[in-house]
Structure 1
């Protein structure tokens, strides 16, 4: 149940909807970066190993994938930092979002985006590991 204290004025409601809309986009940034990194890594590897094996070599491929991984991890970390700030856990140590209030929804979206960023970070590292550990095509 919502009481009078939980209700927002129309201008506050519009601001809240705009913030939640940007939070929804924040949810998909890290997994999208991971997916693009995955596709680009495999495409570059297939081109370097099958089509143009003499052009780059394994060392060049490792550096290209390393640079691509660095960019992807930087984007994921930036998203994680922004979602961590939105989650606002350290300020009030409130990790339970059980009320239908805009603050709880906003913090929950930050929490979900942060966890997706953690999973995406791990996935991106695991995509790049074979190129660095095997040393062959």
Structure 2
């Protein structure tokens, strides 16, 4: 009788482990979906062109756009253009309740957008994560 309960116990443990793995996978999938839908900077609205400034060495150009959604305040999106990589772009700035963009390059790798200092190409500012 003891052997029979051990078999049932090991099956139960296996089922619990598989269930936990499925739950963790599902929660990860849902978490990524929420991030992708609401926080991924590549999904930002295009907006209307405002201005642009090129880095002192010409490697990057930062273009600013204003987005005016119908039910909320304006937002400014900053798009970094890699001039030496066939114009590849990357969103590095997203700020709510702004309608203008003041861009100033401090050097070849540092830009200030509306008072927010970013190191390019990997720095970014997103008001949603502040």
Question: Highest CA radius of gyration, 1 or 2?
Answer: 2
Q: RCO higher in 1 or 2 (8 Å CA, sep ≥ 6)?
A: 1
Answer 1 or 2: which has greater strand percent: 2
